[in-house]
Chain A
Amino acid sequence: MSSTAKADILARLRQRTHTSPPPERDFSVLEARQWTPAERIERFRQHLESVQGEVIRTTESELNQAILDRLSRSHVRRLLLGRNSPFQAGLAAAKSGDLELHVYDQPIETWQSELFNEIEAALTTTLGGIAETGSLILWPTPDEPRLMSLVPPMHLAVLRVDQLHDTLLQVVREQRWSQGMPTNALLISGPSKTADIEQTLVFGAHGPRELVVFLVDESGSGA
């Protein structure tokens, strides 16, 4: 049945006679949005903070401690990491006794209720960031599944400053997204929120209430 629906719809659409050619698409208004590295960091931070995202500037060598400090400030006891997480060894070595590190290495079906009810925070990598809107780019993988950045009340993400781009358009083009996308890709720009009750902005709707970005600066000028 649906193959005839397809044929019918396409046939009807093809009946239209075009009287004008398709217009030119001039992307220059987007392409013109470029910033210096310092402006990019500032813009990213401002945007994220304006929606209650937290940006912690740090360096490679201080990253683990910065993460642990932040977790202990919120009394997080159960942290979720991806499989083969680059942070696992360092955190395990430096952590204090009451922080449990959980690894997402099982299909969701086997531990859904634990993920939904017990995990307090998740730490993920990012593919980069977008200065224009204060967004993180995440491409979930088998090692770092989709729900990590969605279900736990706190999402911590590590972003390196040299991965900070100007605009979404720039990323899409430079990384050739059109050539192939993962099953799921995301831009995340703050903790989840809603204003559906009389326009009152509330953070922590169905996703995380807190989003903490560790902005890692190789040059060591951070923190």
Chain B
Amino acid sequence: MTDTHGAVPFHPNVRTALDNPQIRGNFRRAMDGLMDKRRLAFDDWELDKLRTLGSAVRLNALHHLPELLEQLDTRCRANGIQVHWARDGDEACALITDICRRRNARSVIKGKSMVSEEMELNHHLEQADIEALESDLGEYIVQMAEETPSHIIMPAIHKNTREISDLMHDKTGTEPSLDARYLTASARAQLRERFMNADVGISGVNFAVADSGTLCLVENEGNGRLTTTVPPCHIAVTGIEKVVPSLDDVAPLLALLTRSATGQPITTYFNMISGPRQPDEQDGPEEVHLVLVDNGRSEVYQDEELAETLKCIRCGACMNHCPVYTRVGGHAYGTTYPGPIGKILMPQLMGLDQTPDFPSASSLCGACGEVCPVRIPIPQLLVRLRQESVDGDSLHPAHVKGHGVKRGRLEPWIWRGWAWMHRSPALYRLGTALAARFRRLTPSRLGGWTDYRRAPRPAATTLHQAIKARRTHRRPS
């Protein structure tokens, strides 16, 4: 769970995760499989062009964000959807709790929604004595284990079948089994009852379409459709950045989303909701609500470079391809969104002071940026956030919440010294020549470096010296 009082304890979490061979094994296997599937899924595509379109579609939508949100609001209302706006997570939770109260709801069934995780909705509902049950199988498992998702697409990816079997046995009395089919069938049976009796269904939204007032949901299990169809009231929750102008824009995003996420050309269901049940209809919810949540996004929006973060369509490809995520897993991050997207989004939403180790926790290998379907320049944004962390650019003053957290006392002087030496060729040549001359004095322990590697030792001569010698040597000939 996100700790809003103290900063995220990334380092201790990382150490715990690295010491757990099972976590490393689970993630490595899973991520290897996902990477292969993604590659195959784009086999017959001009992927560069498709990503360029995906990026353009998202940038265009963001460019017109306020207008599109107003249009979405108007169109949804015209379709009979009740639209609510929330400045932050608490306000959104209060709105949703109110709707539930008004309907005397006791039991809520939920489809997968990362925004609801972000604002800890279940916790809020619980406090209002409303039971919220997750229905996506992965979320259901994670909720039963009283954990948080470790991946934005596959919430329970950190668990193996045996652990899930034990958990289901403990909590629901399911017979222990290593057969995923059996466990899935058991969850299906248990949840069917709950769907039938739920008072309210709460879901996320993948794309909100402004011109037709349509909410699009992408899923495989059918739990999302049940959540949005069976209970008499459906509440859809979404971040304000999810709006696009029209269904035309959805086509490329959908093509990119499912292939990037799990290597599927499409998910089983693509569910487009444009209104509550009409008088002549036999099923569907009689009330549909849309809750538009800001929760820091309008701040992220202010800076055009950082606003690229808002292009994200939550496919998870960046984490699937991230060598850091693959090794430490999602929980080490301690935030709703883990992996590369988490490393650029969470510092902006929570403040750099709350996530001080996030921007630096990357080798900048670029794997995330290479696969991101909407071309978010994640490595570039990490560098930008590093700059914000140290207030490192007098030409572009830092402004992200909690900036300067890593400025340090000694560090600025070290860097000033470094710049001073590398700005003066004579000094640099002297310094490097001395390093070569006294190479045997190189310390054999260099912090964390030498925990895993031998300390590097300067060569006997520098390249500068060697080239000079070569020139002198050659001149006579």
Contacts and interface: CB of A to CB of B under 8 A. Distances in A.
B274 A184 contact: yes
A94 interface: no
B262 interface: yes
B410 interface: no
Contacts of B278: 142, 183
For A9, A132, A169, A188, which residue has the most chain B Cβ atoms within 10 angstroms? A9
B229 A194 contact: no
B184 interface: yes
Contacts of A173: 248
A192 B269 contact: yes
B118 interface: no
A108 B26 CA distance: 43
Interface in A140-198: 142, 145-147, 150-151, 167-169, 172-173, 177-198
Given A24-B56, A29-B49, A207-B225, A146 B270 contact: no
A142 B282 contact: yes
B381 interface: no
A97 interface: no
Contacts, number: 264
A211 B180 CA distance: 21
B192 interface: yes
Given A116-B192, A197-B183, A202-B180, A29 B156 contact: no
Given A16-B301, A22-B59, A206 B221 contact: yes
A9 B243 CA distance: 14
Interface in A8-29: 8-10, 12-16, 18-29
Main secondary structure of the interface of A (DSSP, over half): loop
B275 interface: yes
B267 interface: yes
Contacts of A188: 268-269
B87 A197 contact: no
A13 B65 CA distance: 8
A51 interface: yes
A67 to B, nearest CB: 22
Interface string B273-313: 11111101111100000001010001101101001000000
Nearest to B161: A198
A119 to B, nearest CB: 13
Given A2-B84, A16-B302, A18-B304, A184 B271 contact: yes
Interface stretch (A56-64, A71-79, A99-107, A214-222): A99-107
Interface string A27-43: 11110100000000000
Nearest to B240: A9
Contact of B220 (A12, A182, A194): A194
Contacts of A184: 229, 271-274, 284
Contacts of A19: 304
Interface residues of B, number: 103
A205 B141 CA distance: 14
Given A9-B294, A188-B268, A183 B276 contact: yes
A218 to B, nearest CB: 27
A25 B56 contact: yes
B421 interface: no
A27 to B, nearest CB: 6
Contact of B53 (A3, A30, A150, A167): A30
B273 to A, nearest CB: 6
Contacts of B86: 2, 5
A107 to B, nearest CB: 5
A22 B63 contact: yes
A199 interface: yes
A200 interface: yes
Interface string A91-131: 00000000000001111100011001000000000000000
Contact of B284 (A13, A180, A183): A183
Given A146-B229, A184-B274, A178 B268 contact: no
A197 B265 contact: no
Nearest to B81: A183
Nearest to A1: B91
Interface string B151-178: 0001111011100100000000000000
Given A10-B66, A25-B57, A113-B196, A105 B275 contact: no
Interface string B116-140: 0000000000000000000111100
B370 to A, nearest CB: 18
Nearest to A53: B268
Contact of A6 (B52, B85, B276): B85
A135 B49 contact: no
- Closest 3 pairs (CB-CB, A-B): A207-B222, A205-B221, A196-B138
Interface of A: 1-3, 5-6, 8-10, 12-16, 18-30, 32, 47, 51, 104-108, 112-113, 116, 132-135, 142, 145-147, 150-151, 167-169, 172-173, 177-200, 202, 204-208
Given A29-B46, A47-B265, A178-B248, 4 more contacts: A12-B301, A24-B56, A177-B212, A206-B222
